[in-house]
Amino acid sequence: MDYSNRLKKLPNQFFASLVSKVNQAIAEGRDIINLGQGNPDQPTPNHIVKALQRAVEDPQTHKYSPFRGLFELKKAASNFYKKQFNVDIDPETEVSILFGAKAGLVELPFCLLNDGDLMLLPDPGYPDYLSGAVLANVNYQTFPLKKENKFLPDYNAIPVEQKQAAKLMYLNYPNNPTGATANHDFFEETVDFAFKNQITIVHDFAYGAIGFDGKRPISFLEIKGAKKVGIEMYTLSKTYNMAGWRVGFAVGNPIVIEALNLLHDHMYVSLFPAIQQSAITALTNDQKCVEKLVNLYEQRRNSFIHACLEIGWKVDSPAGSFFAWLPVPEGYTSEEFADYLLDKANVAVAPGIGFGKNGEGFVRVGLLEDTDRLVEAVKRIGKLGIFL
């Protein structure tokens, strides 16, 4: 037996080697502060857990879900978007229930593109964007996200032939890995770019709840005309610490939504109904738990960035997400620097090169440890004398 050509072409999981290195260090008995991961460290709010427990006890949830998910969950997603972003969403035609946003992001090229079609992806960006392109047997080109442009794409710099050929484009703000956010003007420019070049936009809004300094992240769908050119994918993983629950949804253009739903008709019978019931509770109940979580991340960010500046590490403060994107000192590649910190300071960070060639020169830190541990990690790095 042999793997299919599609599986053989899948990119290597860069971070598997990082996980292996960290696990080896822990097995040696070392006290590793792991800032290289992106897994929320707080528990799911109790009222959501209780909702799942009640739903599991109901025999009705033990049956197959409707193929396209519970209408009540679609209605909850619609109401959530109206309340949070003042965006009108038709629950019948403009919502697709997902097994987490990652599933939708990987599936979408199957839904909209044919073999050899072109899609545009950010660099640096979420590595699994590439997985979808390879599995769907389509071509992709990347566009750079540079510090001098606030980690936003420069649409004028994309080659004309790519604009003409591309059919699909992924964006992600607040951004993983850079922590950058997008404003209204940028998304207006994006809608105009999509219309002019007949490109479908997919906005990965995984960190849509996490903005700092009193600034709420903007939904792409808030922009006039956005639903005509694309969709947005939202996950409950980060907003409600439900990463392991695998539940999210896509909203927006009804043609794209129907394409996702059609694929799901042939692959799944939707999510476990009890999970869907608990997701309804998350979206419709009081959102104070989200405010509390964002405040926690902001406090961590402030303490961490202050500690970095104190040791002479000249870093920028992220505007959103729960990541910080930190410059690597001269004389190191991002992977060499990450290895050095793990070996000499017992601190794990994610090398920027793992997010694309334009990630070189940076490391990503997750603000997913207690404040004391975050500050301790910086103190350990400071003792190496790198930034003196």
How far is the C-alpha of 173 from the C-alpha of 382, rounded, in Å? 31
State the DSSP string of 365-385: EE--S-HHHHHHHHHHHHTTT
Q: Tell me: the pLDDT tens digits for 130-164?
A: 999 999 999 999 999 999 999 999 999 999 999 99
Could you tell me the two tokens for 146?
Answer: 């540079």
Give the Cα-Cα-Cα angle 57, 61, 64 (nearest 5 degrees): 150
- Of residues 210, 128, 125, the one with CA closest to residue 176: 125
Separation in Å, CA 107 to CA 104, 114, 134, 207? 5, 13, 11, 20
DSSP 223: S
Which residue, 260, 221, 184, is CA-closest to 78?
221
Using DSSP, how many helices (H) and how many strands (E) does the chain show? Answer: 15, 12
Residue 114: partners with Cβ closer than 8 Å, 6 or more residues away: 138
Task: Specify whether the CB–CB gap between 32 and 342 falls below 8 A.
Answer: yes
The answer to whether the beta carbons of residues 119 and 133 sit under 8 Å apart is yes
What letter would DSSP give residue 167?
E
CA-to-CA separations, 231 to 239, 273, 311, in angstroms, rounded:
19, 24, 43
Alpha-carbon dihedral 345, 346, 350, 354, rounded to 10 degrees: 90
> How large is the C-alpha radius of gyration of the chain?
21
Q: Provide the b/e sequence for 69-82 (b: ≥16 CB within 10 Å).
A: bbeebbbbbbebbe
What is the C-alpha separation between 260 and 107, in angstroms, rounded?
8
Determine what percent of the chain falls in helix, strand and coil, rounding each to the nearest 5.
Answer: 50, 15, 35
**What domains lie within the chain, and their CATH numbers?**
5-44+288-382 (3.90.1150.10), 63-284 (3.40.640.10)
Q: What is the pTM of this model?
A: 0.96
Q: Cis (ω within 30 of 0) for the bond into 174?
A: yes
- pLDDT tens for residues 169-226? 999 999 999 999 999 999 999 999 999 999 999 999 999 999 999 999 999 999 999 9
| Spatial separation of the C-alpha atoms in residues 308 and 341, rounded to whole Å | 14
Q: Residue 160 CB: number of other CB atoms within 10 A?
A: 8
pLDDT tens digits, the chain, 388 residues: what are they?
Answer: 999 988 999 888 777 888 899 999 999 999 999 999 899 999 999 999 999 999 999 999 999 999 999 999 999 999 999 999 999 999 999 999 999 999 999 999 999 999 999 999 999 999 999 999 999 999 999 999 999 999 999 999 999 999 999 999 999 999 999 999 999 999 999 999 999 999 999 999 999 999 999 999 999 999 999 999 999 999 999 999 999 999 999 999 999 999 999 999 999 989 999 999 999 999 999 999 999 999 999 999 999 999 999 999 999 999 999 999 999 999 999 999 999 999 999 999 999 999 999 999 999 999 999 999 999 999 999 999 999 8
